[in-house]
Structure 1
Amino acid sequence: MGKKALSVARYMLEQRKRAGEAVTAMQLIKLVYIAQGYMLGRHRRPLFDDEDVEAWQYGPVVPSVYHAVKAFRSAPVQEVRGAEDAHFTDAETAVMEMVATLYGSYDGVALSTATHHAGTPWTVTRDWFGRNAPISNDIIANFYTDLLGRSSHSAL
């Protein structure tokens, strides 16, 4: 059985809470996307496979994660409703912890801005397929593989 995006969101939220950090809905949505990207770029397999990332107006969004946390608005997210328990592999856990550490201190606006740069999977998808189109895992994987090949691999 595949991993669900909501379980990834819950793991990322718990990771930031353990670090004593609050996370807004926008931050969490972007952290889930970035974790998917690093997993695809590093291991060539998705972190979650139950739904696509979509090219929404304010960047890449996993719809179920958005709907699970949108009620928190700009307040800290307290829980990810609908998340199931999931067993993550060591590789999956390592990617999520790395992303939480590298990107968790950036606010949602900074993370959203980083996903809008020219050549990102979001801009490529919106240019080719329009608003709200699914972002191909191949496009995400290629972008993050390239990013990981650089000496400094932060997307910010």
Structure 2
Amino acid sequence: MERLLAAGGLTQFYGKMFLIYSGANTCIIGYDGNQEAKVMSTLRAARTIWNGCNGRVSNLSMQKLLYLSHMLELGAGRDGLVSQNFEAWDYGPVEPGLYHYLKAYGSNYIPDVFSSSAYDENDPEYESISEVIRQLGDVPASKLVAITHWEEGAWSKHYIPGMRRVTIPDEDILEEYNLRAKGA
């Protein structure tokens, strides 16, 4: 961690998580202590979503499209797309590291700020993201919020009005996938 901090950049701490911004396009996330920092796999998924939406995506829409893509990944028996758990915020599931990385853009479309490459068409993650983009990429953010606020879903189980840092466990996201797959 000392090497990263010595390199300069803005550092923000969120509980045990930290973000280091070094330059306009880099976001590194890691854990306090002796663990090695790692580049977020979340940024690779976000880049893929951004590309699939031709750059016409806000932070709010990005969060919901990422959540739904993550859900498909879990439903396919894979590890998911994010390095940090989703949390239950007022407007639905949020990956907090990505939110803080993109919050400066407000409700505007996000510019090309992703330093990581997108998933390749041969990557299994690409399939999940592409399916979500195909079905929901043009849907307004308000509709995506309504989809992720499903009363049987993982967000509803964990949401406490006005609270942040309420984790949505992947097990509950997978349960939501299974319920949606059954047509509940």
Q: Tell me the TM-score normalized by structure 1.
A: 0.80
In the other structure, the counterpart of 2:19 is: none
Among residues 39, 45, 70, which one is paired with 1:8 in the alignment? 45
Instruction: Give the structure 2 partner of residue 78 of structure 1.
Output: 111
- Return the offset for 1:126: 2.2
5+ long unaligned stretches in structure 1 = none
- Distance change (3 Å), C-alpha of 1:87 and 1:110: closer
The residue type paired with residue 28 of structure 1 is: M
Q: Take 1:50 and 1:131, find their aligned partners in 2: how far apart are those partners?
A: 18
- From the two aligned structures, give the one with the greater strand fraction: 2
Where relative contact order (Cα < 8 A, 6+ residues apart) is larger, the structure is 1
Aligned 8 A contact 1:44 1:141 in 2: no
SS of equivalent to 1:55: strand
Flag the structure with larger Rg. Answer: 2
Give the total of aligned pairs. Answer: 144
Structure 1 stretches of 4+ with a deviation exceeding 3 A read 85-90
User: Which structure's residues are more often helix, by fraction?
Assistant: 1
Unaligned runs of 5+ in 2: 1-37
1:37 to 68, 71, 80: 71
**What is the root-mean-square deviation in Å for CA atoms of aligned residues?**
2.4
Q: TM-score, normalised by structure 2?
A: 0.69
Q: CA deviation at 1:145?
A: 2.1
Counterpart for residue 141 of structure 2: 108
Q: Which residue of 2 aligns with 1:143?
A: 176
Cα gap change, 1:87/1:12 in structure 2, threshold over 3 Å: closer, same or farther? closer
What does the per-residue CA deviation read over 1:15-34, in whole Å, with 9 as the maximum and x for residues that have no partner?
Answer: 110xxx61111111110111
- 1:54 alignment partner AA: E
